[in-house]
A and B are shown apart, each in its own frame.
Chain A
Amino acid sequence: MKIVACIKRVPTTEAQAKVGADGKSLDPAGWQYMASFYDEIAVEAAIQAKEKNGGDVTIVTVGPSDAAKEVREFLARGADTGVILKDADWMSRDPRWTAKALAAKVQAIGADLVFTGRVATDRDNAAVGQMLATFLGWACVTEVVALEIEGAKGRAKRETEYGVETVEFSLPAVVTCNKGLNEPRRASLKGIMAVKTKPIAEEAPVDSGVQAVVVSVEIPPARKAGRILGEGAAAVPALIDALRNEAKVL
C-alpha cells in the first residue's frame, strides 16, 4: 500500500501576530515553527496503516527547504521518504492552490491512502484534505477519531455537533485526522539513526494561481481588562448584577 501523509510547517502556538510591512501579511520575525498539531496524528495514522497493511509512507509538504526539519522528525518516527514541494510563499497560498499541488504529487506517487490533519493551525481553513480528495475523485472522511482499514475498505468515526457518525468508504481515500484518533509515537534512537538513509526530495509544486486576495490584515484590538468584582462567593451577587444589568447576557 502506498501511503502519503501531508504535513504543514506552521508557527508554534506561542507565536505572536504582528502585521507585516505590506499590511497584508504577518511578520514572521521571531517565530519558531513546528508541524501543525494535527499532522502528528496524521503521520501516526499513516505509520499504523503501513504496519498493518504493509507498504510505505511518504511525507509530502508544501513549504520552504527549512521544512526538512519537520519532515526528518516524521522519517525518524517511521515514515520512509519525504518530498518538499518547495515554495517560499507556502503560508499565503489558498486551500485550492495547496490541494492542487498535493493532488499532482499524490497522483505521481500512485498513493492509495492519504492522511492529513483536520486543520493546519496557521490559516485554519480545514479545507485542503477535502479539496485534495475532490480533485483526485477520491472518497474523503474528515475529522476522524477512529479508523479501521481492511483491504480496500475503510470504516471511520467522526464527531459532529449532534453525535458520532460512522462512515464507510472505499480506497483510494483521504482521511483528515482529529485528536483522539491515536497517540503519536516519539522517534526511537534507531529511527533517528535511520533518518540519514532516508531521502528527502525537493520538487517544484504545480502553480495553479492563488485566488484568495488579501485586502488587509489587522491585529484585533486587545480586549480591555475588565473589573475584578471581588473575592470568593461574596462577589457572586455583583457578578449576577453585572451580567444582568450591564452586559445584559443573563
Chain B
Amino acid sequence: MSTVLVLVEQFHGSARRAGLECLSAARITGLPIVAVVAGDGAEKAASALGKHGAGKVIALTGAAQWSPDAVARDVAAIAKELDAKAFLAAATATGKDIAPRVAALLDSTLHSDCTGLRSEGGALVATRPWLAGKAIATLRSSAPVFCATTRPNAFAATESGGNAEVVTRPASTDGKAVVTAIAEKVGGKLDVKEASVVVSGGRGLRGPENFHLIEELAAAFGSAATGASRAVVDAGWRPHAEQVGQTGKTVSPQLYVAVGISGAIQHLAGMRTAKVIVAINKDADAPIFKIADYGIVGDAFEIVPALTRAVAEARKH
C-alpha cells in the first residue's frame, strides 16, 4: 500500500514544531502517514504524533550516538519496506542533513525547502523558492519516491485527533560520522527559521553594543528570534546564524520587524514571505519601506525602546 513516510525531528523527547508542521503537510497527500523518529528520546516523542496525523510511528532506538548516515540508512530501509510513495522531512539543520541522503539511497531527487505541497490527479506537486524567493517554481518528480523537505513556518501544525500505533525498531549503530557532543543553546533561544516573530537589526544600530535593543524588543514579543542583516554579520557584530537573506537564512515568520535595515535585494529575498513586515528606518526612501506593511520613519534609538514597552504592555492584555 502506498504511504508517505515522514521523518519527524525530536529533541529530548519532544517533537520539534517544524516536524509537526511537516506531518501536517503530509496529510495534504491524502496517503496513510508513517512517521519515523530517531535519537535519544525517540520513543517518548513518538506517542504524541498520532494526533498530528501519523497512523503509525516507528521509533528508532538503541543508538548511543546520533549518526546522520546511520539514521538515513534506517529511514531509507523503512521507505523501501513500506514501498513509500513519498518521503518528507522538515528543512531544519537536521532535516537538511538527513533528507538528501535518504533521497540518494532511494535513487530519487529531492525538492528542498518547499513552501507548498499539493496532490494533483494522484501526483504530488511541490512549490519551492529559487534564488532565495525571487522566483517560485512548481515541480513534480519522476523519481521512484517523491522526496521533499518543508520549510519551517510555511505549513501550519494542525491536529487530526487521531491515534498512532507506536513500534520500536533497533537503530543502526555503524555510522561513518557521529555526533559526540552538543553545546546546547542557553535560554532556549529560538532560531530565525523557526520563530513566529523575528526582530532583525542592521547597520542603523551603529554598533554591536546596541543590539540589546533588538534583543529586548524580541523578548517583549515572547517567542521571537533575533536576526541580522548581512552588513552587520560581515562586520562581526552578530553571528552568522542570525543572518537573514540570500546568503543567510530565508525566513517566513508571522511578523518580521526590520530595524535600521535599508533593504538590499539579497536581504528582501530572505524575508519577503513574512506574513507581516514592519520597518523602522531613519531614511524615508529606504527600499525596505517598499515591501513593509507598516513603517515608522525615525531614530531607532528613540523608537525601539518605546515599541518594546508598548509591546510588553499590549501583551499583558
Contact = CB atoms under 8 A, between A and B. Distances in A.
B179 A230 contact: no
Contacts of A239: 278, 294, 296, 307, 310
Interface of A: 11, 13-17, 19, 26, 37-38, 94-97, 99, 121-131, 133-135, 138-143, 145, 158-170, 173, 178-180, 210-220, 222-223, 225-233, 235-237, 239-240, 242-244, 247, 249-250
Contacts of A213: 139-142
Contacts of A214: 137-139
Given A130-B100, A236-B307, A15 B176 contact: no
Contacts of B177: 139-141, 167-169, 173
A93 to B, nearest CB: 9
A229 B296 contact: yes
Contact of A166 (B176, B180, B299): B180
Interface residues of B, number: 96
Contacts of A125: 100, 110-113
A240 B314 contact: yes
28 contacts: A13-B265, A15-B134, A17-B131, A37-B247, A95-B103, A97-B109, A124-B128, A124-B250, A125-B113, A126-B96, A130-B97, A130-B101, A131-B103, A134-B101, A138-B176, A143-B96, A167-B178, A167-B179, A178-B240, A213-B140, A215-B125, A215-B140, A217-B130, A217-B138, A223-B290, A232-B297, A232-B299, A236-B307
B289 to A, nearest CB: 7
B92 interface: yes
Interface string B296-310: 111100110011001
Contacts of B182: 162-166
Given A139-B69, A243-B255, A26 B295 contact: no
Contacts of A244: 314
A248 to B, nearest CB: 9
A-B pairs, 5 with minimum CB distance: A127-B100, A139-B176, A226-B293, A169-B177, A134-B104
Interface in B91-111: 92-94, 96-97, 99-101, 103-105, 107-111
Interface string B215-259: 000000100000000000100000111010011101000110000
B296 A231 contact: yes
B32 interface: no
Contacts of A215: 125, 138-140
B217 to A, nearest CB: 11
B183 interface: yes
